[in-house]
C-alpha cells in the first residue's frame, strides 16, 4: 500500500500527515465508483397524445375514416411480422416509406395534411416492429400517429 | 599498516512523493462520483428498439409529474427469450414502475391513484372531467408484445392520462 508520509523531513515539517489511510480510502471509493459506473445509452421519445374526449368511446361508425393505415400481422410459423398497406404486403422499409409518402402527399393535395397514420397491430407483434413503422412514418412526413385498439365497454 | 577507511554511506532519500498520485486519484474520484447515477431507478435495464426520428431526451429535467412504465421480460428461465427470440408467454412480460413489478390486475388502480394525485386545474370541455396532468413514459423491451403496450395506453386513457411518451433508443452511429 501507500508509503508512510511525505518523506523523512520531520525537522522541516513538524506536523507531517500520514496519508496512507487517506490513499486507502480513496482507492476503495475509486474502485466502488468504477465498478458501478455505466455508460448510458442515449434515449429519446415519440410524443403521443391520447384523445381527451373520444378516446375510450371510439369514433362514431358513421364517420368517414380518413387515414393511412398500416396493419401488422404476426406470422407464427416464421416468427416474424408481416406489414400490409391496404392489401399489399410491404416487407421493405424503403417501399413502405414511399407508400406512406405517396398517401400523405395525396392528402396534402386534398388540403388535409393532418390525416393520421394508424397502426393496427396484432397483439403478438414485437414492439420493435411497431417502433420501426412509427420511425418510417415520421421520416415520411406523417405528423400524427394513432394506434388502433378495441373499444372498451365501460370507462 | 594502512587501514582502509570505509567510504561514507550515501544517504539516499527514496520516499516517493504521494501528492501527485493523491491529486490524480481525487480527480478520478470526482469524475466517477459525478457520473454515478444514485437516483432511484426509474428506468429498468431494457434493450429498447432503435429509432432515428425520435426526439432526444431533454437534458434539463422538467417539473412535470411523470410515471415511467417499463415493460420487461420477467421469466429468467424462458428458453425463447434466452435465445434472443420473441417470447409470447402470457405471464412472462411484466410491468415495472419505479423498480417494482405491478401485477396486471392492480395496474389500473395504481395508475389511477397516480393520475389523481396531479389533476389539471380546469375541467376539460371535451372530456367533461378534470384530466390528469401526469405524463406517462412507456419504455418497452424491443421484443415485448405490442398487446402489452396497447393495454398500457388503453389504461392511461381510462384513468384520464392523455400525455404519453414512447421511449426508444438512438441508433449507434455508423462509420
List the CATH number of the domain containing A115.
3.30.420.270
Q: Which helix (H) or strand (E) holds B34?
A: helix B19-35
* Judgement on whether residues A3 and A72 belong to the same structural domain of the protein: no
Which of A127, A125, A139, A146 is closest to A94 using CA atoms? A139
Domain assignment present for residue B49? The answer is no
**How many whole angstroms separate alpha carbon B116 and alpha carbon B67?**
12
Strands (E), chain B: 55-56, 66-73, 93-97, 100-102, 132-140, 161-169
Separation CA A45–CA A108 (nearest Å): 26
User: All 3 cell numbers of residue A49?
Assistant: 397524445
| Reported pTM | 0.70
For the stretch A110-129, pLDDT in tens is: 888 888 888 888 888 999 99
ipTM passes above 0.90: no
Q: Are B138 and B128 in contact (CB under 8 A)?
A: no
Better-scored residue on pLDDT, A10 or A70: A70
Residue B23 lies in a domain: no
First to last CA, chain A: 68
A28 occurs within a structural domain: yes
> Lowest-pLDDT range, A22-36, B43-57, B130-144?
B43-57
Give the helix ranges, DSSP H, for chain A: 20-36, 93-109, 127-139
Domain-embedded: residue A101: yes
CA A110 to chain B, closest CA, distance in angstroms equals 26
Q: Is B119 on the interface with A (CB under 8 A)?
A: no
Q: Which three cell numbers stand for residue B134?
A: 401526469
Per-residue cell: A146: 394513432
Chain A residues 35-74 with CB within 8 Å of chain B:
36-38, 40-56, 72
The answer to whether position B90 is within a domain reads yes
Same domain, A72 and A35: no
**Judgement on whether residues A78 and A22 belong to the same structural domain of the protein:** no
Q: What is the DSSP letter of B59?
A: S
Give the domain range for residue B114: 66-166
The CATH number that applies at residue B131 is 3.30.420.270
Number of Cβ pairs < 8 A linking chain A and chain B: 184
Query: Which H or E run contains B82?
Result: helix B79-82
Based on the fold, state whether residues A76 and A24 are members of the same structural domain: no
Report the relative pairing of strands B161-169 and A43-49 from DSSP bridges. antiparallel
Beta bridge pairs of residue B100:
B97
A74 in any annotated domain:
yes
Nearest-angstrom CA–CA distance, A43 and B58: 10
Task: Provide the domain limits for residue A94.
Answer: 68-147
In a domain, A133, yes or no: yes
- B124 occurs within a structural domain: yes
Number of domains in chain A: 2
Q: Is B144 part of a structural domain of the chain?
A: yes
B41 near A CB under 8 A: no
Write down the mean pLDDT value for chain B: 81
Residue B46 within any structural domain of the chain: no
Mean pLDDT computed over every residue of chain A:
77
Confidence of residue A154 (pLDDT cuts 50, 70, 90): very low
pLDDT of residue A153: 42
Q: A115 and A68 in contact (C-beta within 8 Å)?
A: yes
pLDDT, tens digit, 9 for 90 and up, residues B6-38? 666 666 667 777 788 888 888 888 888 887 766
Confidence band for A1, pLDDT divided at 50, 70 and 90: very low
User: In DSSP terms, which residues pair with A83 in a beta bridge?
Assistant: A72
Residue B96 domain-assigned?
yes
| Candidates A1, A26, A50, A81, partner chain B, best to mutate (most B CBs within 10 A) | A50
Distance of CA A50 to the CA centre of its chain: 17
Tell me the chain B residues in contact with residue A128 when contact means C-beta distances shorter than 8 Å: 49-50, 142-143
Q: Phi/psi of residue A131, each to 5°?
A: -60, -40
User: Any CB–CB contact under 8 A between B13 and chain A?
Assistant: yes
> How far A106 CA sits from the closest chain B CA (Å)?
23
**What pLDDT, on the 0 to 100 scale, is given for residue B37?**
66
Q: Is the residue at A29 inside a domain?
A: yes
Number of structural domains in chain B? 1
Within a domain: B21: no
Residues A142 and A99 in one domain: yes
Task: For an interface test with A, give the residue of B51, B67, B132, B169 to mutate (most A CBs within 10 A).
Answer: B51
Closest-CA residue of A relative to B126 is A53
pLDDT digits (tens, 9 = 90+) for A73-114: 988 888 888 998 888 888 888 888 988 888 888 888 888 888
- Written as nine digits, the cell of A45 is 421519445
Asked if residue A79 and residue A31 are part of one domain, the reply reads no
Helix axes B107-117, B146-159, angle to 10 degrees: 40
Give B52's strand partners.
none
DSSP H or E segment with residue B157:
helix B146-159
| Residue A130 main-chain phi, psi, to 5 deg | -70, -45
In a domain, A80, yes or no: yes
Amino acid at each position: 500500500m501507500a508509503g508512510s508520509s511525505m518523506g523523512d523531513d520531520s525537522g522541516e515539517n513538524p506536523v507531517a500527515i500520514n496519508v496512507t489511510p487517506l490513499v486507502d480510502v480513496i482507492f476503495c471509493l475509486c474502485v466502488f465508483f468504477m465498478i458501478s459506473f455505466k455508460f448510458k445509452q442515449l434515449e429519446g421519445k415519440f410524443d403521443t397524445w391520447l384523445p381527451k374526449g373520444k378516446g375510450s368511446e371510439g369514433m362514431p361508425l358513421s364517420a368517414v375514416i380518413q387515414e393511412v393505415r398500416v396493419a401488422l400481422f404476426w406470422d407464427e410459423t416464421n416468427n416474424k411480422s408481416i406489414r400490409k398497406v391496404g392489401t399489399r404486403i410491404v416487407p421493405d422499409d424503403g417501399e413502405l416509406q414511399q407508400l406512406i409518402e405517396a398517401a400523405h402527399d395525396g392528402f396534402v393535395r386534398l388540403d388535409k395534411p393532418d390525416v393520421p397514420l394508424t397502426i393496427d397491430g396484432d397483439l403478438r407483434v414485437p414492439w420493435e416492429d411497431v417502433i420501426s413503422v412509427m420511425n418510417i412514418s415520421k421520416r415520411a412526413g406523417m405528423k400524427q400517429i394513432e394506434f388502433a385498439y378495441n373499444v372498451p365497454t365501460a370507462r | 599498516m594502512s587501514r582502509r577507511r570505509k567510504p561514507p554511506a550515501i544517504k539516499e532519500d527514496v520516499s516517493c512523493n504521494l501528492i501527485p498520485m493523491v491529486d490524480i486519484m481525487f480527480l478520478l474520484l470526482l469524475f466517477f462520483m459525478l457520473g454515478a447515477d444514485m437516483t432511484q431507478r426509474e428506468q429498468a435495464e431494457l434493450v429498447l428498439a432503435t429509432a432515428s426520428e425520435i426526439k432526444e431526451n431533454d437534458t434539463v429535467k422538467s417539473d412535470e409529474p411523470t410515471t415511467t412504465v417499463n415493460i420487461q421480460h420477467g421469466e429468467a428461465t424462458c428458453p425463447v427469450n434466452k435465445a434472443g427470440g420473441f417470447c409470447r408467454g402470457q405471464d412472462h412480460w411484466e410491468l415495472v414502475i419505479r423498480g417494482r413489478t405491478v401485477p396486471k390486475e392492480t395496474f389500473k388502480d395504481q395508475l389511477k391513484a397516480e393520475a389523481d394525485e396531479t389533476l389539471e386545474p380546469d375541467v376539460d370541455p371535451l372530456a367533461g372531467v378534470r384530466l390528469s396532468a401526469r405524463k406517462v413514459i412507456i419504455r418497452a423491451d424491443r421484443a415485448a408484445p405490442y398487446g402489452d403496450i396497447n393495454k398500457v395506453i388503453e389504461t392511461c386513457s381510462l384513468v384520464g392520462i392523455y400525455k404519453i411518451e414512447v421511449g426508444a433508443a438512438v441508433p449507434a452511429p455508423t462509420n
